[in-house]
Every structure is written in C-alpha cells, then in structure tokens.
Structure 1
Amino acid sequence: MAHFKNATSEFKKRLADQPIIKRAVVTPLASSGLDDGPLYTSSNANPNNNGTQVFRSSKKKKTEIYSQPQDTGIGKHINSLLLNAINFLKTSDEPLSIEDLKRKGNIDLEAKPELFQLLKANEKVLYDQMNGTFVYKPTYHIKSKEDLLMILEKRKNEGGMDFKELKDSYSKLAQSVEELANEGRILVIRNKDGNPRVLFWNDQRYNTAMDKEFRDIWHSLRITDEIDLSKELQKAGLTHMQVYDKKGPGEAPKRKPVRRNRKVKITNTHMKGLDLTKDFVMQK
C-alpha cells in the first residue's frame, strides 16, 4: 500500500513539472492580392517578427466551375444559326431582306457568308435574287382564314386535316381556326387542353334545324349503366347478344406436335457386288 502511494505522488510531481504550452490564436490578415491564399498571424512568440508568427494558408482558393456555359443563347454552331433563321422566317408572312433579318431577328448574314449560302439553298426557304429577300416555303399556301377554309373544303372527302400539318403555313392559323369555328364554318376536334387537333370542313347542307321539343327530348335521354343494361333489355322484351367467352391472355394455344424425320442408315445389301457400268444396259 505504501508502495502505491509513493508511485502516485511521484506521478503527480512529474505532471506538475511539465511545461505549460499556450494555445496559439490564429487571426487572418488583409488579403495580399495574390492567388496563393490569404495571410494569417499567430500569437506564438517570434523575436524576428515582433512576437507574431506570419504564415500562409495551405488551402487553395476554390475556383467556380460551371457544368454548362453561361451563354444560353442559340449557340455558335452553323446548324443552330440556320435553324434559328428558318424559325424566324416562319413567324413572318412577308418576305424579309437581309436588313430585316438583322434588325428584327438579330440575324447577320453579311457577317456569316456560310449561313447566307445555306439559307439560300434550304428547301424550305425561297430566295428572291432580284429583290434579295427570303420567305419561308410552307407545305400549304395559306395567307388568310379563307385560304384555310378552301383547303379544308377540297379535302372534305379525305377526312379532317391535322392542325400540326398546317401550323407552319400561317402565323395566325390558331386565330383563324377559332374564328371559323365560332362562325360554324368548320368543325374542330380538340385535345384535352383545348388546343385544336383535327379540322373538318362543315357542310352547311347537313345542318338540319330541329324543334326545341325534339332537342329537349334528346338531351333528356339517359343511357342505362352497363351493369343494369341487360335487365332493362329483358324488361323491354329485347334479347341481348350472346357473348362467347374467349381464352384468357395467359392461356397459350396448344401447338401441334412437330414430326421430325429420323435419319435412318439405308444399306442396299441386295445390290452388293453389282457393277452398274457393266450389268446395267439402257434399253432403247
């Protein structure tokens, strides 16, 4: 026990004799303007520097990196510039000169001779060499709602026309469609969002006027639910059409067994020793 007390006292004495180290306080200095990091000072004594230790941080300044270019314009590739010029011509129903393209669409053909040549040679663009103007060439020539009505009338026996097919023909096509629909001159099938999908010419000869009494009776009729339809038909003395059950999608049709021809080795034992070149004589 005495030995343990002596060891403890000696340990405490050695611990008290250890030097006290003061933690250094690091404070940043003003930036040096260099790219190798800011300067810092420490409270550690340094007789050569008035008791202040000066050092530079090892951490490098982070550089801002962009995953995409900040310029989100049309790009500088010649094909992107060509597409932009064609799309701009679509918005105009009149021919545009080189000056018009530069002023209205910020398309400078004089500074880009390659773009000028590609635009001239494009199959969807008409270039008037005499006047020096460009105009978009649509699939259908439509300049007014009367032109649209005339095309739909010519195609009346071929069904309706897709709105997307006509969209690039006239910049005010959507407005003309709504006007003709309100006038009852065309019929429009719309998407769920209300935009036109298919256009039909409305033949006024089939617009038969009906009395209000018949219209009210028509709208008052209600179709029976599918579950109760069979019962309602039986009450009216009508028989419903017989339905035959079909095989489920999981039942595969039975396949006929494939007959495979087994290879059999045939030996002509009865012809053994027969020389056809000598023993066989063709009869004339």
Structure 2
Amino acid sequence: MSHFKNATSEFKKRLAHQPVIQRAVVRPLAAQDDGPIFTGSNANPNNNGTQVYRSSKKKKTEVYSQPQDTGTGKHINSLLLNAINYLKTTDEPQSVEDMKARGKIDLDAKPELFQLLRLNEKVAYDERNATFVYKPTYQIKSKEDLFAMLEKRKNEGGMDYKELKDSYAKLPQAVEELAAEGRILVVRNKDGHPRVLFWNDQRYNTAMDPEFREIWHRLRIPDEVDLPKELEKAGLTHMQVFDKKGAGEAPKRKQVRRNRKMKITNTHMKGLDLTKDFVIQK
C-alpha cells in the first residue's frame, strides 16, 4: 500500500511541473477594417502569441447567385436551337440579314452555325434565294388548310393540338376562328387552352331547347369520394365488390405427406436385425 501511495505522489509532482500551453485566440479587428485576416507564426504579446495582419486586397461586397450575363448561350448547339425556334415563329423565308435584324442571330459571325442550320432536317434552305424556312410536320399555311386536314382525318378521330403547334405560326387564331364559326370542335384543358381538335360534321348538329341546355350545363358531376352518397340520395345503388381474402394474405398451401423409402447404403450392416436391442457378447 505504501508503494502505491508513493507512486501516486510522484505522478502528481510530475504533473504539476508540466508547462501550460495556452490556446491561441485571434481577436477581431476593428469594424472599419476591411479584408480577410491572416495569422502568422511571429509572436505578438497583444494577441496571445499570434501575429495578425490585414490583406491589402479589398473585400468585394457584390454577390451574385448566377452569372450576370443571362442572355442566350454561346455554345453552338444553343445557338442552333435559338435559330430553329426563331424560324418556327414565322412562315416567311428568312435570309441571313433577316435573321440578324429580327432574330438577333448572326450567321455571318458563325460559319459553323450556318452549315448546321442549312443541313438540319427541320429546316429547308433555298440555294437560289439564300433563305431559310422551317419544315413543319404538317403543311398548314392558312385557316382553310387546317380545316381541310381535320376533315380529311375525320374517321381517324381528333388531332392533338401539340402536334400542330409548329406547323402554323397563327394556329391559335385559326383554331378560335374555326371554333367560333362552328366548323370544328375543340376539347380544352382546364386552363382553356386547346387540347384536341375535331372536324364538326354539320349534319349531326341538332337544335336543342335553351331550357334543356341550361339544365345540362348547370349539372355538375360529383367528386369520386362523394359519388356513393349522391347515388344514395337519388335512390341508386353502386356496385359493391367483396373480397373474401384479407389484404396481403397469401393462400395457404396444403401439406402433402409422402411415404419415402429409405435405402440403406451401409453394406456392413446388412443382415442385422435393427428391431432388437444390441447386447455385447462376452
């Protein structure tokens, strides 16, 4: 026990004579000082052993979350896409000067862009007049062209408005005019934009009583959640499907017992009666 006390006392003495190293703390400079703070190894008694000095560079106060130049991209593919999108907005052939003045696309400054636009499958280039024109999926140049195409496809159902969008620059105006004249039928989205266009066969236009039309438009289909309640109020019942099995419950398989014959492979046990107790013979 005395040996343990002596060892403990010696350890405490050595611990008390160990040097104490204070953590270096960097004090902030005055509020009017600008620039980042750097620390060096030269001792400074006023700053707990740490040398502090100021950078000569001024700190920038402007911070941008994105580049200041937010215009069109400078990559060749971006310029090609901008040129094609511009040609979609006009039905008239565009020369190099027209594209530079109206579309802000300078083909003279980018010879590579000129070649890519000339060879693009969605663009037609006229060698004689040196003009570009967009090649749409459907050739529609007027309101009557749109009506004739819908009439031609009357037995194929309606046409998707998105498929016709790049065919005619004045397509929205043509659709509204034909719909107002009763020559086509338009199925619209919730926001009122056209979705599907149909040719309207005038032979099936039947005059409806104004009172009946008012009642028809006044009726609203209930939501799917409220539909069973509305049917019950009207004295109608909805189909019910009963599932006998619980959700996620797998059917149990019937276990089949099989009588398997065991084959004895130990030939050295052949001839022994295993039904009798084994007795060691002395």
Question: TM bucket by the smaller chain?
Answer: 0.5 to 0.7
Pair 1:132–1:232, CA change in 2 (3 A): closer
Pair 1:122–1:252, CA change in 2 (3 A): farther
Pair 1:201–1:265, CA change in 2 (3 A): farther
Cα displacement (A) at 1:251: 3.3
Quick one: distance in 2 between partners of 1:135 and 1:246?
Answer: 62
Cα displacement (A) at 1:66: 3.7
The answer on 1:227 being equivalent to 2:229 is yes
Moved more, 240-249 or 131-140: 240-249
Uncovered stretches (5+) of structure 1, i.e. residues with no partner: 1-25, 29-34, 37-55, 235-239, 270-284
Cα displacement (A) at 1:68: 2.8
Cα displacement (A) at 1:252: 3.8
Pair 1:226–1:98, CA change in 2 (3 A): same
Percent identical pairs in the alignment equals 64
Cα displacement (A) at 1:258: 9.7
The answer on 1:61 being equivalent to 2:58 is yes
Cα displacement (A) at 1:67: 4.4
Q: Which residue is equivalent to 2:170?
A: 172
Cα displacement (A) at 1:181: 1.0
Quick one: distance in 2 between partners of 1:66 and 1:221?
Answer: 54
Q: Which residue is equivalent to 1:244?
A: 241
Cα displacement (A) at 1:267: 8.4
Uncovered stretches (5+) of structure 2, i.e. residues with no partner: 1-29, 37-52, 267-282
Q: C-alpha deviations, 1:190-221, integer Å up to 9, x for none?
A: 11111111111111111012445665676788
Q: Which residue is equivalent to 2:195?
A: 197
Pair 1:89–1:233, CA change in 2 (3 A): same
Cα displacement (A) at 1:255: 6.0
Q: Which residue is equivalent to 1:106?
A: 104
Q: Which residue is equivalent to 1:93?
A: 91
Cα displacement (A) at 1:229: 3.4
Q: Which amino acid letter does the alignment assign opposite residue 150 of structure 2?
A: L
Cα displacement (A) at 1:105: 1.0
Pair 1:84–1:253, CA change in 2 (3 A): same
Pair 1:212–1:242, CA change in 2 (3 A): closer
Q: Which amino acid letter does the alignment assign opposite residue 59 of structure 2?
A: K
Q: Which residue is equivalent to 2:144?
A: 146
Pair 1:188–1:255, CA change in 2 (3 A): farther
Q: C-alpha deviations, 1:22-79, integer Å up to 9, x for none?
A: xxxx998xxxxxx99xxxxxxxxxxxxxxxxxxx955741134544321111111000
Cα displacement (A) at 1:131: 1.1
Q: C-alpha deviations, 1:100-145, integer Å up to 9, x for none?
A: 1111111111111000000011111001111111000000111111
Q: What is the TM-score normalised by the length of structure 1?
A: 0.62
Of 136, 140, 157, the residue aligned with 2:134 is 136
Given that 2:228 and 2:238 are in contact with CA atoms closer than 8 Å, whether structure 1 keeps it comes out as: no
**In the comparison of the two structures, how many residue pairs are matched?**
214
Q: What is the TM-score normalised by the length of structure 2?
A: 0.63
Quick one: distance in 1 between partners of 2:93 and 2:112?
Answer: 21
Quick one: distance in 2 between partners of 1:76 and 1:219?
Answer: 53
Pair 1:60–1:88, CA change in 2 (3 A): same
Q: Which amino acid letter does the alignment assign opposite residue 101 of structure 1?
A: M
Cα displacement (A) at 1:233: 4.4
Superposition CA RMSD, Å:
4.0
Pair 1:229–1:201, CA change in 2 (3 A): same
Q: Which residue is equivalent to 1:14?
A: none
Q: Which amino acid letter does the alignment assign opposite residue 243 of structure 1?
A: Q
